[in-house]
Amino acid sequence: MGNTIKTGIIGGTGYTGLALLEVLVRHPNVELGFVTTRQESLSGEYVHREHPNLYGLSDLKFSIYKPEDPSFKEANQLLLKQVRDSDVIFLGVPSGVSMTLIKDFLDTGTKIIDTSADFRLRDPALYKEFYGRDHPLPELLKDFIYGLPELHREEIKNAKYIACPGCNSTAMILAGYPLTKIENLDFKVTYTIMTGSSEAGSEPSRASHHAERSGVTRPYSIKEHRHLAEVRQELKLPPLKVGVSMFAVPMVRGVECIGNVFTNRPVEEKELWKAFRSAYEGSPFIRIRARKTGGPGSLPDTKYVRGSNFGDVGFFLDEKHGRIGVLSAIDNLVKGDAGNAIQSMNLMFGLNETTRLKDMVPSYLFE
Ligand SMILES: NC(=O)c1ccc[n+]([C@@H]2O[C@H](COP(=O)([O-])OP(=O)(O)OC[C@H]3O[C@@H](n4cnc5c(N)ncnc54)[C@H](OP(=O)(O)O)[C@@H]3O)[C@@H](O)[C@H]2O)c1
């Protein structure tokens, strides 16, 4: 391989596919060879037919990939050849689908970056607990690296297979990780997450209908969420030490996260500063916001990360109630999704991890 990374996207019509395309079509080191759909009406159509914002930015056309349908044998074989000729592919398909499609791709020898939940968890038992099904390929889980560069940078550099984190997991892990750097600290954390509508993907449902979703602050998954499994794994916390309640709020993009933390001993503010700084030293997309004066930008806020790969983190001490607050804000489709995937790709291919991603300046006067 020279300076150019040959790649393609499986599942390019969805929101993750779109978020990947938005970055990859302008990535200076990427040659994007294919993007797939199962929809026959889109076969051979320009990607901007489905994603109108890409008009004028890419001449790429959709390819059909439908391995379950024998009438597409030729198209399926052509696609597998393109995968074989690629350096890495991205899977932008739903959880439960990656684990079925992946068998064909493993044989090609090509690197894989999966955005679904299918290979994020090391312990197969967690799939039963959180996803209600046995994992069909448990022996493969150990071959995947969790694609959060802030925690796994060196492993990602040498990885063949990457499982990108969920968006809510990214937010919870980034907020809580610095606490694991404080010596002799035992803590319990309960997160509250406020999340935008694009997190649910592009497939419409009653709950996602504008009339139902607009203007709402709606609790859901109030006692637990699937992404908690990743938080337990990455922060090495037992079930009794971490929980989450989810709220759907009226925004399209964004995850706002606060963790209420109770500790076995008092913690000083300078310890928190030291922990946050040391946790994210050398992490170019993490910004610490912990200003006591209040006002916009004093703590992580979705408005200041939207459209970018930044993960803003912060904290406050509530001495009166013996509580620490840890916070984070991300764009669910970038730092919570395609951003982690492409940051990981950059690392896997020896590029600066900020390549292309640092150009994504948060556009805060949106919505
Ligand atoms: N949305 C987020 O904020 C977010 C954040 C982090 C991670 N993710 C992960 O990203 C993945 C995609 O999510 P999304 O939000 O982009 O969902 P989405 O908008 O519903 O898109 C799903 C994509 O997968 C394809 N697809 C669906 N079923 C398929 C099947 N059985 N076989 C092959 N392709 C299939 C669809 O393509 P066609 O129908 O055109 O074939 C579409 O391109 C999920 O695993 C999700 O967990 C999403």
Q: What is the CATH number of the domain that holds 128?
A: 3.40.50.720
- Of 167, 261, 326, 357, the active-site residue reads 167
**How far does residue 200's CA lie from ligand 1's centre (Å)?**
9
Residues lining ligand 1, CB < 6 A?
A: 11-17, 37-39, 92-95, 97, 115-117, 166-167, 198-199, 201-203, 332-333, 336-337
Q: Which residues of the chain have pLDDT under 70?
A: 1-2, 367
Q: Has residue 307 been placed in a domain?
A: yes
Q: Has residue 367 been placed in a domain?
A: no
| pLDDT for position 2 | 57
Q: Do 52 and 176 belong to one domain?
A: no
Q: Which atom of ligand 1 is nearest to the CA of 164?
A: 7
Q: How many helices (H) and strands (E) does the chain have?
A: 11, 14
Q: Do 55 and 133 belong to one domain?
A: yes
Q: Has residue 283 been placed in a domain?
A: yes
Beta carbons within 10 angstroms of residue 184's beta carbon: 6
**Count of structural domains, the chain:** 2
Q: Do 148 and 98 belong to one domain?
A: yes
Q: Has residue 317 been placed in a domain?
A: yes
Q: Do 70 and 102 belong to one domain?
A: yes
What is the per-residue pLDDT across 143-188, written as a single tens digit (0 to 9) for each? Answer: 999 999 999 999 999 999 999 999 999 999 999 999 999 999 999 9
- How far, in Å, are 7, 61, 237 from residue 230 at the CA level? 27, 35, 10
| pLDDT for position 341 | 98
CA triple 153-134-72, angle to 5 deg: 85
Q: Do 67 and 117 belong to one domain?
A: yes
Residue nearest to atom 1 of ligand 1 (CA): 199
Q: Has residue 364 been placed in a domain?
A: no
- Quick check: is 164 catalytic? no
Range of the domain at 93: 5-165+334-359
What is the per-residue pLDDT across 256-294, written as a single tens digit (0 to 9) for each? Answer: 999 999 999 999 999 999 999 999 999 999 999 999 999
Q: Do 153 and 177 belong to one domain?
A: no
Q: Do 134 and 226 belong to one domain?
A: no
| pLDDT for position 365 | 83
Q: Do 325 and 343 belong to one domain?
A: no
Q: Do 189 and 280 belong to one domain?
A: yes
Q: Do 151 and 225 belong to one domain?
A: no
